[in-house]
Structure 1
Amino acid sequence: MPNERLKDVMASRGWTCSALAEKAGVDTKSVERWANQNRTPRLGTARLAAEALGEDMFALWPSLRQPRAARAISPELVALYEQRADLPVSVFVDLLGKATERIDVLVYAAVFLHEAYPRLNELLRERAAEGCAVRIALGDAASENVKQRGEEERFGHGIESRCRLALLHYRPLLGTPGIEIRTHGTTLYNSLYRADDQLLVNAHVWGVNAFGAPVWHLRRTGAGTLFDTYAASFDAVWNTARPVEES
């Protein structure tokens, strides 16, 4: 059965089999087989031919559109938790406590850390004193996105109050070498807790408080892109955030 699409394109644009063969780097008989016997060229050859014809390669040879095999699990995924409440605070504390180069925290409030672990500021000072760069991005209580999150989670003005409380918790760290604190007004799709090449991602689900939403633990391995995707997300938010001034 001939490849009618290919034959029509060649005819309408004045291409002979020999001319297309020259452009694609094959012999004329190969192109004749593509057209008359519906043979499928190799991927690289098909791309050259399609470019010469000014046509979509997959429209000419649909069989080249092979579905990519799905990977069952990312090589960077260490663990998946159904909800943040399943993780004891010690998991967050241990992760941050082992950091030697970088700690990044992106949240709206996450006051559960200070409430459950009052030494958090001391831990961050210790890490910074050892040369670890610490960046804390908190929600701006006056931002529309924070207010909207409160409505969506049926929290009312509670989340705005918790953003202010979080800032009070972290404010004693202002002026500490190696520690920066900023506020942001972005939509918080995920809360991020990074320690060097490990990352806890607390996903956010519409209408669900963060403690009831899933958490995945990622470790950068070089064999995936998930970690770097979230790390880049943190940097993008950080670049829009405002430094908190010492009072």
Structure 2
Amino acid sequence: MPNERLRGAVSARELTTQRCAELLGVDPKTVERWITRDRVPHRAHRVAAADLLGVDETYLWPSVVDDLRTVSAGRAEMVEFYPSRSAVPLELWRSLIQQARESVDILVFAGLFLPELHDITQLGERARQGCRIRVLLADPNGAAVRRRGDEEGFGVGLAHRVLLSLRYYEPILAIPGVEVRLHDTTLYASIFRVDETMLVNTHVYGSTAAHNPVLHLRRVPGGRVVDHYLTSFDRVWTHAKRTSDINAVIAAFDGR
């Protein structure tokens, strides 16, 4: 049976079988067999093909979900489990920012605890040294933050926490490599990613983030968990609104 998902993904990228093979460093006949005979490539080629086509490898080859090596690698990505965010050692949060070299990605509603733990100008210093900083905060005027505020029992207080967080980030907004966007997305987890390490703070209905479990993850070759959460981050990032004028955001909130 042909792999129509793979065929469609190649077509969507406006690639030919020949060009796809060249970019992946394999024989065109190999790619043709992947498509026409639904052959499952070796792991390295699966990862490279999925990255080239901009989709998850399990979408192209669902059978790899049950691959024992994939399952084992996914388990290896788990470094530690914390029963609540407040149980995460403060030194871990601080060391992650201090050690950041390539990327810092933050997805939260308000995440006010971060600027309370760190001098946010440290993120600016990382950016000046070539580190990409992406911060996603909730749109204080959005439906998602109002809904979450009601669920947690804070009401409009959660939106005010977002505005306060924005004020903390304001001094570094003009630094190249730093970008803050506002999202109006239902979050199932807050994500804190620094290079190959990630902390995932799960969300529980009616419970504040500080009281919810945290997964400490680190990317392992062949693992899918970190990349799975990064895909989620990128989807929110794509649809979020750019913001460079904090005062305009605050004025829009005050003027509701």
Distance in 2, matches of 1:159 and 1:112, equals 13
Q: 1:232 to 1:69 in 2, by over 3 A?
A: closer
Q: Does 1:206 align with 2:205?
A: yes
Contact 2:121–2:171 under 8 Å retained in 1: no
**Structure 1 residues 122-170: Cα deviation after superposition (integer angstroms, max 9, x where no partner):** 2101111111010011010111111010111111211111011111111
When normalised by structure 1's length, the TM-score is 0.69
Q: Does 1:239 align with 2:238?
A: yes
Greater helix share, structure number: 2
Distance in 1, matches of 2:180 and 2:109, equals 13
Residue number in structure 1 paired with 2:183: 184
Distance in 2, matches of 1:142 and 1:193, equals 23
Distance in 2, matches of 1:225 and 1:158, equals 36
Distance in 2, matches of 1:216 and 1:140, equals 25
Question: What secondary structure is seen at the aligned counterpart in 2 of 1:218?
Answer: strand
Cα deviation, residue 223, structure 1 = 2.8
Q: Quote the RMSD (CA, aligned, Å).
A: 1.8
The amino acid of 2:88's aligned partner reads: L
Q: Which has the larger radius of gyration?
A: 1
**Structure 1 residues 15-63: Cα deviation after superposition (integer angstroms, max 9, x where no partner):** xxxxxxxxxxxxxxxxxxxxxxxxxxxxxxxxxxxxxxxxxxxxxxxxx
**Structure 1 residues 180-202: Cα deviation after superposition (integer angstroms, max 9, x where no partner):** 11111101111111001110000
Instruction: Map 1:9-28 onto structure 2 (within 5 A).
Output: none
Residue number in structure 2 paired with 1:228: 227
5+ residue gaps, structure 2: 1-65, 248-256
Instruction: Map 1:57-206 onto structure 2 (within 5 A).
Output: 74-117=75-118, 119=119, 121-206=120-205
Cα deviation, residue 69, structure 1 = 9.0
Distance in 1, matches of 2:169 and 2:90, equals 17
Distance in 2, matches of 1:187 and 1:144, equals 9
Question: What secondary structure is seen at the aligned counterpart in 2 of 1:96?
Answer: helix
Contact 2:112–2:165 under 8 Å retained in 1: yes
Contact 2:108–2:137 under 8 Å retained in 1: yes
When normalised by structure 2's length, the TM-score is 0.66
Q: In the comparison of the two structures, how many residue pairs are matched?
A: 179
Distance in 2, matches of 1:112 and 1:148, equals 21
**Structure 1 residues 86-144: Cα deviation after superposition (integer angstroms, max 9, x where no partner):** 01332112112211111100111111111233x1x221011111110100110101111
Residue number in structure 1 paired with 2:16: none
Question: What secondary structure is seen at the aligned counterpart in 1 of 2:76?
Answer: coil
